[in-house]
C-alpha cells in the first residue's frame, strides 16, 4: 500500500464531492429546511392552543344529574398554567369563560349551531356513578382538547360547591400541577426533570445517534455512487494501471468519509445557535469523552459500511442498481432508531445491550445508550462493542477489496451470489 | 524491454491466454493483434498488473510486478472514460500526481501535453463540455503524462478524424524516438503496416503469428510475383497464369518454379523490367486468412517462430 497514492486519491475524492452543487445544497439546504419545518409547525401549534383557550368564551351545559344546579356560571383560566410554552415562561394571563345552562339537548344544540356557545357539555343523570360526559362542538382539530382543563376545574368547583375557597378548589382540580421530579444524573447529582428536560433527554440522544448514523450513511452513499459512477464511465481500467485496487479503495474510503464528516460538521455548526440556547437553559450533562467515542464509532462503522457499499458499487452495473442494494444497509444502520423509545427507557436492557454489541447496529445503538438520561454504560461493554465493530470493519474491508478487485473489471452482467462468494474467498 | 515468458491465464478451466511468450524492445512500436475474444485484453491486463498470470512471468526493464513497474506503464483502454465534471487540466494533474510527479510538475506537464494535442484553450473547461474526439485526446494525455516507458494503446485511432489520426501518429513517433515502447492493439491493419515494427497475433488465447510485419506478410504471400515491365510475358516458363491490375501484372508461378528462374526467363527474353516484387498479402487478408482457416503457428512451431526478430529489420 502506497500512502502517497491513497492520499492523492483521497484528496481528489474529497474535493470532487464537496465541490458538487448537490453537496452545497444538501449541506445548507437540509438544516434550513428542517429549521423552516420547525418554525412553521411548533410555533403555530403553541399559538393555536392559546388561541383555542382564549376563544373559549361560552360553555353551554345540559345537566341531567342535578349535581351542578349551584355551580358557578363562569370559569377563570390562567393561560400561563393551562398552556405552558417551550421557550421563555409566559406571564400570567386570566381568561373568562361564561357558563350557560340549557334545560335540554335540543335547546343547547340550537344555541351551538347558532354559535351562541362554543361548546355544549352534557352531564348525564348517572354521571356520579359512571363518570361519563359528552361534549359537543361545531368542529374539532388537533387542539380541541386544550379546553379540557377549564372544564375540569369547573366540574370540581360545581361538585364541591362553596365548601372550599377558590385557591383550594384550583389545587383540588389539578393537585399535581406543580409537582417536580428530581432524579440522579450520570454524575450522581439530582437534577430537575421538567418538561424542557424531558424534551432535551429525548432530543439529545436522538440528535447524537442521528448525526452519527447520517455521517456514516452519507459517506457510504458517496462511496457507493462514486464507485458505480466510475465503473459506469469506464475510468477504472486506466486508473487501475496506475494504482492498486487496495490503494483506490483506501483513498476513496478516506476522502469520501471526510466529505461525509464535513457535511455533518456543517449541519452541527448551523444547529449550534438554535440548540445552544436550549442547551444553556437546561445544562445537559454528557458522558465523559463522548466526542472521542462518537469519532471512534464513526471511523469503525464507516469502515464497515463504507467497505460494504464499495463492494456493492463494484459488482453492480450502474448507479441506480447500486443505490437499490445500498439502501438496505442504510436501513440496518438506522434500525436502532425504530426502537428508540424502548432503548432510552431501558438503556441497559437486553435489547439495547444486544443492539449495541451487534456490529451493524452498534454505532447508533451505543450512541442512544450513552446519551440516554442517567445511563451509565459499563466500560467492558463499550470496549467489546468497539472491538467487535473493528473486527467486522476489517472483515468487510478484506472481503470488499477482493470483490472490488474483480468486480471493477466486470461489465454488462451483475454477478450472482455464488460468484461474489467465490471472489470473496479468492485472496 | 518488455519480456513476456510463457504466460498463461485460465478462467473456469479455459485458457484465455495460453503459454504466450514474446519481447518488445525499447523504441519499438509493437502490434498486438487478434480477433475479438482472442485474449488480448486479458494479456494487457496482466502486463498492466491489473490481473495476475496463473503461470509465467512478465518483466519490464527487468522489473517484476510492483509499484516501480506500475509507474513506468500507461494504458489507454478501448473502453474509455474520464471524470466528466472535472476540469481538463485537473484531471491530467491528478493522473500526473498518481504517476509520482509533484503537483507543480504534473500541472506543468499537463499544460505542455494539452498544447501538444491542440487543447490548450480547453484546460479550464469541464471534460463533459468537450466533444468525443477531444475527450479522447485528453484521455491520451492521461496515458502520456509522466513519460511512461511502456505505452499500451487499445484502439487509439477509433473516433479520431484524419487530422487527429495524423497528430496521434506523430506523437507515437516522438515517443518512440524518445525510447518508449509502444504496444498497440488495433483492428486497423493499415495502421499496423504503417506504424509497427513487429506484430503478435493471438487467436483463442494462443500465439498464431509473431515477427516483423513484412515477414508475416511474406509468410502468407501467394506463390506469385508482381511485375511492371515492357514486353510480352505470355508463355514464360514456370508461369501458370497472369492477372493484370493497375498497370502491373501478377504472375502466378508453377509450384516447381522460383522467383529467380522466372526472372532469368524474362531477362533471356529481353523484357525490360521496371519493378518486381513478391505478391504479398495485405496484413488484413493475412488476419482474415489466419482466423478463418485456423492457420498460424502450431504448438510445435511456437519455439522457432517465437524468436524475436531484430527491430527495424523489415522496415
Q: Alpha-carbon distance B77 to B99, whole Å?
A: 17
Q: Chain B residues within 8 A (CB-CB) of chain A?
A: 45, 48-51, 67, 70-71, 73-77, 79-86, 94-95, 97-100, 139, 142-143, 152
> Measuring CA to CA, how many Å separate A13 from each of A80, A254, B25?
55, 9, 38
Number of CB atoms found within 10 A of residue A217's CB? 23
Question: Of A20, A240, A242, which is closest to B99 when you measure between CB atoms?
Answer: A242
Chain-chain contact of B77 with A234 (C-beta, under 8 angstroms):
yes
ipTM more than 0.90?
A: no
Do B95 and A242 lie within an 8 Å CB cutoff?
yes
pLDDT reported for residue B198: 93
> Are residues A240 and B48, on separate chains, in Cβ contact within 8 Å?
yes
**Which pLDDT band, with edges at 50, 70 and 90, does A82 fall under?**
low
DSSP letter (8 states) at residue B235: T
| Cross-strand partners of B251 | B225, B242
* Residues β-bridged to residue B225: B251, B278
Give the DSSP H/E element, type plus range, for residue B206.
Answer: strand B206-212
Set of cell numbers at residue A400? 470488499
Range in A295-309, A313-327, A333-347, A382-396 with the lowest mean pLDDT: A313-327
Nearest-angstrom CA–CA distance, A402 and B146:
29
Q: What is the pLDDT of residue A89?
A: 59
Confidence at residue B28, expressed as pLDDT on a 0 to 100 scale = 93
User: Cβ contacts (< 8 Å) between A234 and chain B: which residues?
Assistant: 77, 79-81
Determine the distance in angstroms separating the CA of A22 from the nearest CA of chain B, rounded to an integer. Answer: 13
What is the three-class DSSP state of B226?
strand
- Nearest CA to A285 among A349, A378, A197? A197
Cα distance from B244 to chain A (closest Cα, Å)? 49
- Pairing relationship of beta strands B181-185 and B55-60 according to DSSP bridges: unpaired
Cα gap B301→B154, rounded to integer Å: 28
CB count within 10 Å of CB B57 equals 13
Residues in chain A with CB shorter than 8 Å from the CB of B95 are 242
Q: Is residue B5 classed as helix, strand or coil in its secondary structure? A: strand
Question: Is A9 within 8 Å of B98 when comparing Cβ atoms?
Answer: yes
Measured between CB atoms, does A237 come within 8 Å of chain B?
yes
Residue B63 is given by DSSP the state B
Q: Which chain B residues are within 8 Å of A9, Cβ to Cβ?
A: 98
User: In whole angstroms, what is the distance from residue B24 CA to residue B35 CA?
Assistant: 21
Q: CA-CA distance, A267 to A247, in Å (whole number)?
A: 30
User: Between chains, do B79 and A240 touch, taking CB under 8 Å as contact?
Assistant: no
Query: What are the distances in angstroms from CA B67 to CA A22, A55, B39, B211?
Result: 36, 80, 25, 31
Can you give the pLDDT at residue B304?
Answer: 34
Enclosing H/E stretch for A96: strand A94-101
Task: Provide, as residue numbers in chain B, all residues whose Cβ is less than 8 Å from the Cβ of A242.
Answer: 70-71, 74, 95, 98-99
Contact B143 A238 (CB under 8 A): yes
A265-274 — which CB contacts under 8 Å span 24+ positions? Answer: A266/A27, A266/A28, A266/A31, A267/A27, A267/A30, A267/A31, A267/A211, A267/A214, A268/A211, A270/A28, A270/A31, A270/A32, A271/A31, A271/A207, A274/A35
Question: In the structure grid, which three cell numbers stand for residue B39, read together?
Answer: 485474449
Element (H, E) at B273: strand B272-278
Answer whether B202's CB lies under 8 Å from B32's CB. yes
Buried b (16+ CB within 10 A) or exposed e, B174-190: ebbeeebbbbbbbebbe
Q: How big is the CA angle at B4 (ends A425 and B7), to the nearest 5 degrees? A: 40
Burial (Cβ within 10 Å: 0-12, 13-18, ≥19) of residue A238: buried
Taking only the tens place, the pLDDT of each residue in A235-255 is 888 888 888 888 888 898 899
A148 Cβ under 8 Å from any chain B Cβ = no
Is the Cβ of A341 closer than 8 Å to some Cβ of chain B?
no
What would the mean pLDDT of A283-305 be, rounded to a whole number?
Answer: 83
C-alpha cell recorded at residue B286: 493475412
Q: Any CB–CB contact under 8 A between A422 and chain B?
A: no
- Please list every residue in chain A whose beta carbon sits closer than 8 Å to the beta carbon of residue B50: 237, 240-241, 409
Average pLDDT rounded to a whole number, residues A115-131:
91
Query: Residue B88 has which C-alpha cell?
Result: 481538463
The answer to whether the beta carbons of residues A71 and A123 sit under 8 Å apart is no
Pick from B79, B85, B86: CB nearest A237? B79
Q: How far apart are CA A135 and CA A59, in angstroms?
A: 10
The Cα–Cα gap between A361 and B244 comes to: 83
How far is Cα A82 from Cα A42, in angstroms, rounded to an integer? Answer: 17
Do the beta carbons of residue A310 and residue A249 sit within 8 Å?
yes
Distance between CA atoms of residues A315 and A309, nearest Å: 10
Q: How far apart are CA B71 and CA B100, in angstroms?
A: 7
Residue of B nearest to A246 (CA): B50
What is the grid cell recorded at A310?
464499495
Task: Specify the pLDDT at position A228.
Answer: 78
Residue of A8, A234, A242 with shortest CB distance to B81: A234
- Looking at the complex, does the CB of residue A20 fall below 8 Å from at least one CB of chain B? yes
Grid cell digits, residue A318: 450502474
Question: Given an 8 Å threshold on Cβ–Cβ distance, is B98 in contact with A8?
Answer: yes
**How confident is the model at residue B309, as a pLDDT?**
33
Most confident of A41-50, A381-390, B10-19: A381-390
Buried b (16+ CB within 10 A) or exposed e, A410-419: beeeebeeeb
Residues 6+ apart with CB under 8 A from B187: B33, B155
- A233 in reach of chain B (CB within 8 A): yes
| Interchain CB distance below 8 Å, B81 and A9 | no
CB B200 within 8 A of CB B239: no
**Other beta carbons within 10 Å of B281:** 17
Interval A312-332 mean pLDDT: 77
- In this prediction, residues A24-51 reach a mean pLDDT of 77
Task: Give tens-digit pLDDT for A160-171.
Answer: 876 777 777 777
Record: contact A235-B82, CB cut-off 8 A = yes
pLDDT at position A222 is 83
Residue B94 and residue A240: Cβ atoms within 8 Å?
no
Q: Considering only residues 380 to 409 of chain A, which have any Cβ-Cβ distance to chain B shorter than 8 Å?
A: 409
At B223 the pLDDT is 80
Pairing of strands B248-253, B224-230: antiparallel
Residue A39 has pLDDT above 70, yes or no: yes
Q: Give the 3-state secondary structure of residue A123.
A: strand
Nearest to A386, CA basis, from A365, A408, A416: A365
Beta bridge partners of residue B30, listed in sequence order: B183, B198
Residue A159 sits at φ, ψ, to 5 deg, of: -70, -45
- Nearest-by-Cβ selection for B76 from A2, A238, A240: A238
Q: Alpha-carbon distance A50 to A67, whole Å? A: 30
pLDDT bin (cut points 50, 70, 90) of residue A183 is confident
Cβ contact, residue pair B99, A243, below 8 Å: no
Does residue A280 have a pLDDT over 70?
no
Residue B110, all three cell numbers = 499537463
Strand order in the sheet with B14-24: B14-24, B2-11, B55-60
Determine the pLDDT at residue A279: 64
Cell of A152: 375540569
Beta-bridge mates of residue B220? none
A91 touches A119 (CB < 8 A): no
Residue count of chain A, please give it.
427
Check: CB of residue A403 under 8 Å from CB of residue A414: no
The residue that leads in pLDDT, A199 or A211, is A211
Task: Convert A118-135 to b/e letters by CB count within 10 Å (16 or more is b).
Answer: bbbbbbbeebeeeeeeee
Interchain pair B139, A238: CB under 8 A: yes
Closest chain B residue by Cα to residue A20: B85
pLDDT, average across residues A265-271? 84
Q: Give the per-residue pLDDT at B173.
A: 93
Q: How far is B96 from chain A (nearest CA, A)?
A: 10
Assign A360 to helix, strand or coil: helix
For B72, the closest chain A residue by CA position comes to A242
Which chain B residue's Cα is nearest to A11? Answer: B94
Across chain A, mean pLDDT equals 82
Distance (Å, whole) CA A401 – CA A33? 38
Per-residue pLDDT 10s for chain B (315 aa) are: 899 999 999 988 889 999 999 999 999 999 999 988 889 999 999 999 888 899 999 999 999 888 888 889 999 988 778 888 889 999 999 999 999 899 999 999 999 999 999 999 999 999 999 998 899 999 999 999 999 999 999 999 988 899 999 999 999 999 999 999 999 999 888 899 889 989 999 998 999 889 898 888 877 777 888 889 888 888 888 888 888 877 788 888 888 888 889 899 888 888 888 888 888 777 888 888 888 776 555 443 443 333 333 333 332
CA distance A214 to B259: 81
Amino acid at each position: 500500500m502506497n500512502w502517497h497514492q491513497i492520499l492523492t486519491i483521497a484528496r481528489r475524492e474529497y474535493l470532487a464531492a464537496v465541490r458538487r452543487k448537490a453537496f452545497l445544497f444538501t449541506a445548507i439546504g437540509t438544516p434550513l429546511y428542517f429549521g423552516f419545518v420547525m418554525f412553521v409547525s411548533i410555533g403555530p401549534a403553541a399559538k393555536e392552543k392559546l388561541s383555542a383557550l382564549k376563544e373559549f368564551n361560552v360553555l353551554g351545559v345540559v345537566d341531567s344529574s342535578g349535581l351542578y344546579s349551584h355551580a358557578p356560571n363562569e370559569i377563570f383560566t390562567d393561560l400561563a398554567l393551562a398552556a405552558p410554552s417551550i421557550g421563555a415562561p409566559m406571564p400570567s394571563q386570566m381568561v373568562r369563560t361564561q357558563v350557560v345552562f340549557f334545560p335540554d339537548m335540543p335547546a343547547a344544540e340550537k344555541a351551538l349551531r347558532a354559535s351562541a356557545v362554543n361548546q355544549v357539555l352534557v352531564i348525564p343523570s348517572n354521571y356520579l356513578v359512571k363518570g361519563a360526559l359528552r361534549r359537543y362542538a361545531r368542529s374539532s382539530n388537533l387542539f380541541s382538547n386544550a379546553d379540557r382543563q377549564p372544564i375540569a376545574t369547573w366540574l370540581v368547583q360545581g361538585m364541591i360547591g362553596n365548601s372550599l375557597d377558590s385557591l383550594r378548589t384550583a389545587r383540588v382540580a389539578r393537585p399535581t400541577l406543580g409537582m417536580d421530579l428530581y432524579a440522579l444524573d450520570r454524575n450522581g447529582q439530582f437534577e430537575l426533570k421538567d418538561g424542557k428536560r424531558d424534551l432535551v433527554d429525548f432530543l439529545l440522544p436522538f440528535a447524537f445517534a442521528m448525526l452519527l448514523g447520517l455521517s456514516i450513511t452519507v459517506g457510504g452513499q458517496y462511496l457507493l455512487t462514486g464507485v458505480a459512477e466510475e465503473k459506469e464511465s469506464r475510468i477504472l481500467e486506466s486508473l487501475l494501471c496506475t494504482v492498486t485496487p487496495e490503494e483506490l479503495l483506501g483513498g476513496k474510503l478516506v476522502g469520501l468519509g471526510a466529505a461525509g464528516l464535513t457535511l455533518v460538521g456543517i449541519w452541527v455548526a448551523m444547529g449550534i445557535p438554535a440548540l445552544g440556547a436550549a442547551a444553556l437553559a437546561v445544562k445537559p450533562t454528557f458522558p465523559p469523552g463522548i466526542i472521542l467515542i462518537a469519532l471512534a464509532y464513526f471511523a469503525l462503522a464507516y469502515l464497515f459500511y463504507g467497505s460494504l457499499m464499495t463492494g456493492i458499487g463494484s459488482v453492480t452495473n450502474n448507479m441506480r442498481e447500486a443505490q437499490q442494494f445500498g439502501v438496505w444497509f442504510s436501513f440496518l444502520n438506522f434500525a436502532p432508531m425504530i426502537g428508540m423509545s424502548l432503548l432510552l427507557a431501558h438503556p441497559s436492557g437486553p435489547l439495547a445491550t444486544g443492539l449495541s454489541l451487534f456490529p451493524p447496529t452498534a454505532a447508533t445503538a451505543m450512541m442512544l445508550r450513552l446519551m440516554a438520561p442517567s445511563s451509565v454504560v459499563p466500560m467492558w461493554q463499550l470496549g467489546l462493542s468497539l472491538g467487535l465493530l473493528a473486527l467486522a470493519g476489517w472483515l468487510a474491508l478484506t472481503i470488499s477489496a477482493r470483490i472490488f478487485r474483480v468486480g471493477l473489471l466486470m461489465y454488462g452482467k451483475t454477478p450472482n451470489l455464488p460468484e461474489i462468494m467465490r471472489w470473496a474467498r479468492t485472496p | 524491454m518488455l519480456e513476456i515468458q510463457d504466460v498463461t491465464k485460465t478462467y473456469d478451466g479455459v485458457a484465455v491466454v495460453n503459454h504466450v511468450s514474446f519481447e518488445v524492445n525499447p523504441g519499438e512500436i509493437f502490434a498486438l493483434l487478434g480477433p475479438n475474444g482472442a485474449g488480448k485484453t486479458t494479456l494487457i491486463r496482466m502486463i498492466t498488473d491489473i490481473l495476475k498470470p496463473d503461470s509465467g512471468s512478465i518483466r519490464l526493464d527487468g522489473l517484476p510486478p510492483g509499484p516501480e513497474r506500475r509507474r513506468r506503464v500507461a494504458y489507454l483502454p478501448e473502453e474509455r472514460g474520464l471524470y466528466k465534471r472535472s476540469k481538463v487540466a485537473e484531471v491530467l494533474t491528478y493522473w500526473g500526481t498518481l504517476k509520482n510527479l509533484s503537483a507543480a510538475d504534473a500541472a506543468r506537464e499537463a499544460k505542455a501535453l494539452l498544447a501538444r494535442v491542440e487543447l490548450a484553450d480547453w484546460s479550464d473547461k469541464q471534460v463533459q463540455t468537450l466533444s468525443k474526439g477531444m475527450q479522447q485526446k485528453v484521455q491520451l494525455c492521461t496515458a502520456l503524462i509522466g513519460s511512461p516507458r511502456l505505452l499500451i494503446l487499445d484502439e487509439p485511432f477509433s473516433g479520431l478524424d484524419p487530422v487527429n489520426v495524423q497528430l496521434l501518429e506523430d506523437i507515437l513517433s516522438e515517443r518512440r524516438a524518445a525510447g518508449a515502447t509502444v504496444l498497440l492493439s488495433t483492428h486497423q491493419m493499415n495502421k499496423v503496416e504503417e506504424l509497427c515494427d513487429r506484430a503478435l497475433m493471438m487467436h483463442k488465447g494462443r500465439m498464431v503469428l509473431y515477427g516483423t510485419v513484412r515477414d508475416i506478410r511474406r509468410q502468407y504471400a501467394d506463390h506469385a510475383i508482381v511485375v511492371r515491365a515492357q514486353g510480352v510475358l505470355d508463355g514464360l516458363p514456370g508461369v501458370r497464369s497472369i492477372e493484370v491490375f493497375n498497370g502491373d501484372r501478377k504472375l502466378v508461378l508453377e509450384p516447381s518454379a522460383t522467383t529467380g528462374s522466372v526472372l532469368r526467363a524474362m531477362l533471356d527474353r529481353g523484357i525490360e523490367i521496371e519493378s518486381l516484387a513478391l505478391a504479398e498479402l495485405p496484413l488484413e487478408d493475412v488476419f482474415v486468412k489466419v482466423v478463418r482457416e485456423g492457420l498460424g503457428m502450431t504448438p510445435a512451431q511456437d519455439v522457432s517462430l517465437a524468436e524475436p526478430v531484430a527491430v527495424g529489420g523489415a522496415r
